[in-house]
């Protein structure tokens, strides 16, 4: 009877360990999917912000130097996409932007330079409702970029925390997935719409 008890306890322990490992692997997979979704959302918001900046630069209401600067930097931002693996379309550097951070910081700097307080007042005076609409789009796009980057970085931090656990490392529950990285760039717009 004693041998049967030990065998039963060993089987129960193995079942519990298997359940815990399965649960941990599924949780890690969900967190990786969350990072991928946040990555795609951030990418979409960056594209919207660049399109709004391009529209503002091309509207003809800004001075020529500011227009040229905005159009150039916004076009560069739209041209600079995250590199993708041809086979399955996933980012080559999971969770990273492959050097795109500097371009996005440059767009923020260009928007802040073009939309100083005097130029915004002049733009509103000369452009009327059209200027208000363009400035509202830029402001909203800037806020959405900040929120998307924050959500992305929170998701990445959670994945990194879970992947540092001993159980995850010992049983290689992350598989071959690359460690996601946070995205850091200047996204603080100084003007208010």
Give residue 96's pLDDT band: very low, low, confident or very high (50, 70, 90).
low
pLDDT of amino acid 82? 52
Counting the structural domains of the chain, the total is 1
pLDDT of amino acid 93? 46
pLDDT (average), residues 58-64: 94
The residue with greater pLDDT, 127 or 83, is: 127
Report the chain's mean pLDDT, rounded to a whole number. 90
- Ranking 67-81, 87-101, 138-152 by mean pLDDT, the lowest is 87-101
Which residues are registered as beta bridge partners of 84? 91
Between CA 11 and CA 113 the distance in angstroms is: 67
Contact 139, 111 (CB under 8 A): no
Residue 123's Cβ-count burial label (10 Å; 0-12, 13-18, 19+) is: buried
pLDDT (average), residues 6-21: 96
Residue 5 lies in a domain: no
pLDDT of amino acid 78? 92
pLDDT of amino acid 172? 94
CA distances from 98 to 27, 101, 103, 159, 182 (A): 27, 8, 11, 19, 12
Contact 103, 50 (CB under 8 A): no
Q: Is the pLDDT of residue 92 over 90?
A: no
Residue 21 lies in a domain: no
In terms of residue numbers, what domain contains 124? 44-80+91-177
């Amino acid at each position: 009877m004693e041998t049967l008890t030990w065998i039963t306890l060993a089987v129960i322990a193995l079942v519990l360990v298997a359940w815990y490992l399965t649960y941990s692997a599924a949780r890690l997979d969900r967190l990786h999917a969350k990072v991928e979704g946040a990555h795609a959302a951030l990418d979409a918001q960056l594209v919207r912000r660049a399109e709004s900046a391009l529209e503002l630069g091309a509207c003809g209401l800004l001075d020529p130097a500011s227009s040229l600067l905005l159009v150039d930097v916004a076009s560069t931002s739209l041209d600079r996409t995250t590199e993708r693996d041809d086979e399955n379309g996933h980012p080559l550097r999971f969770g990273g932007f492959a050097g795109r951070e500097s371009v996005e910081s440059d767009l923020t700097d260009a928007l802040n330079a073009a939309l100083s307080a005097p130029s915004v007042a002049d733009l509103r005076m000369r452009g009327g409702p059209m200027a208000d609409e363009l400035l509202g789009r830029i402001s909203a796009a800037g806020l959405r970029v900040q929120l998307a980057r924050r959500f992305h970085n929170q998701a990445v931090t959670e994945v990194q925390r879970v992947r540092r656990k001993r159980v995850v490392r010992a049983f290689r529950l992350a598989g071959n997935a690359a460690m996601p990285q946070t995205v850091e760039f200047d996204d603080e717009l100084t003007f208010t719409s």
